[in-house]
């Protein structure tokens, strides 16, 4: 762990734009574990490494990866990530094609009314 400044929940939420609820959810599922827990109420503190990991998580969410896919992606070695992301892209393209077909069908249903 980096010995630099540890950030509070409020600080990391402000810096990254995530909500406390999201941050606590990521902790609960083991996706982003705080660097330190302290005090009687188990106050969470986050390191620079935690912040970098959270930013990776947010990039993955923006790209359409599921929580499971994000977990898998972050566990991969650097050289495995391109192939993994290509598979995610193919999944999203299939979903897009299915959605387009549904829209066409709905359009015909609407026109038939």
pLDDT digit string (tens) for the chain, length 113 residues: 445 789 999 999 999 999 999 999 999 999 999 999 887 777 899 999 999 999 999 999 999 999 999 999 999 999 999 999 999 999 999 999 999 999 999 999 999 99
Q: In this structure, are 84 and 49 located in the same domain? A: no
Instruction: Show which of 43, 66, 89 is a domain's final residue.
Output: 66
CA distances from 16 to 13, 58, 89, 103 (A): 5, 9, 25, 35
Query: Looking at the DSSP assignment, which residues form a beta bridge with residue 2?
Result: none
* CA separation for the pair 78, 72 (Å, rounded): 12
- Half-sphere exposure for 20 (CA within 13 Å, toward CB): 7
Q: In this structure, are 13 and 54 located in the same domain? A: yes
Question: Which pLDDT score is estimated for 2?
Answer: 47
Q: In this structure, are 6 and 24 located in the same domain? A: yes
Domain range holding 33? 1-66
Q: In this structure, are 1 and 56 located in the same domain? A: yes
Q: In this structure, are 110 and 60 located in the same domain? A: no
Q: In this structure, are 2 and 51 located in the same domain? A: yes
What length is written for the chain? 113
Q: How many domains does the chain have?
A: 2
pTM of the model: 0.83
Could you tell me if residue 19 is inside a domain? yes
> What are the structure tokens assigned to 106, written together?
């709905």
DSSP state of 34: -
Question: Which pLDDT score is estimated for 63?
Answer: 96
Q: In this structure, are 34 and 81 located in the same domain? A: no
Q: In this structure, are 22 and 44 located in the same domain? A: yes
Could you tell me if residue 71 is inside a domain? no
Could you tell me if residue 11 is inside a domain? yes
DSSP 82-101: HHHHHHHHHHHHHHHHHHHH
Question: Which pLDDT score is estimated for 51?
Answer: 95
């Amino acid at each position: 762990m980096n010995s630099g400044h540890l950030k509070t929940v409020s600080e990391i939420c402000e810096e990254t734009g995530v909500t406390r609820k999201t941050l606590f959810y990521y902790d609960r599922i083991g996706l982003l574990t705080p660097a330190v827990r302290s005090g009687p109420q188990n106050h969470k503190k986050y390191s620079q490494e935690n912040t970098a990991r959270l930013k990776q998580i947010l990039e993955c969410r923006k790209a359409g990866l599921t929580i499971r896919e994000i977990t898998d992606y972050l566990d991969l070695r650097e050289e495995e990530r391109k192939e993994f992301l290509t598979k995610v892209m193919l999944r999203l393209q299939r979903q897009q094609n299915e959605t387009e077909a549904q829209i066409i069908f709905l359009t015909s249903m609407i026109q038939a009314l």
